[in-house]
Structure 1
Amino acid sequence: MTIAPSKLSDPTVAAFVTAVNAHDRDAFLKLLTPDATMSDDGSDRDLQEWIDKEIFDSGGHMDVQKESAGGRHLVVNYRNDTWGEMRTAWHFEVADGGRISRFETGQA
């Protein structure tokens, strides 16, 4: 069963999922702190390069299956035009002011 972004517990994470699914790069970037970082499968990656390749240039889409930790940990069926669909885990660190300072993703 998919959880609609509007039903997610953390409003910043909900906005992140909404921006990804709408392919709205500007809205996505506004959710991040200026020094935000990310990792994929345990390796830190260049944020701008990764989001272009894995989300915006490849039609990324998140179908949230489960949430925990107040909505900051998600299990997602993630798909894009490069890799197809895969079950992934996402963890978010949300700074004061409601912006994401770090997110981590990888196979679930």
Structure 2
Amino acid sequence: MTIAPGKLSEPAVGAFVAAVNARDKDAFAALLTPDATMSDDGSDRDLQDWADREIFSSNGHMEVVTESDGGRTLVVSYRNDTWGEMRTAWRFTVTPDGRISRFETGQA
């Protein structure tokens, strides 16, 4: 059983999942603050380079298994053409105006 993006408690996170699954770079970019940062498995990465490699050029797809922390923490079955499918944890920092200023992902 997965949670549809539109059913997530935090609208910005739901929109993030929807943009990833649609591979919509413009919608993805619009959700982020200009200075947004991210980390993968505990190491900060260049967000644009990482997103291009891990999401957009490799057909990334998120199926949300659980949410917590008001929808800002997810456990996701994530798959892409590079790594196959894996269970990952995602944590989001959302600004008061509803944009994502940071996300952290890694093995769950």
| Band the TM-score falls in, shorter-chain normalisation | over 0.9
Structure 2 match to 1:74: 74
Structure 1 unmatched ranges of 5 or more: none
Alignment correspondent of 1:62: 62
> CA deviation digits over 1:46-85, x for unaligned, max 9?
0010000000000000000000000000000000000000
**TM-score, structure 2 normalization:** 0.99
Letter of the 1:15 counterpart:
A
Determine the structure 2 residue equivalent to 1:86: 86
Identity %: 77
Task: Give the TM-score taking structure 1 as reference length.
Answer: 0.99
* Residue type at the aligned position of 2:93: E
Give the C-alpha shift of residue 96 in structure 1: 1.8
Q: What is the distance in 1 between the residues matched to 2:93 and 2:60? A: 21
| Structure 1 match to 2:10 | 10
5+ long unaligned stretches in structure 2: none
3-state DSSP of counterpart to 1:78: strand
Number of residue equivalences: 108
CA RMSD of aligned residues (A): 0.4
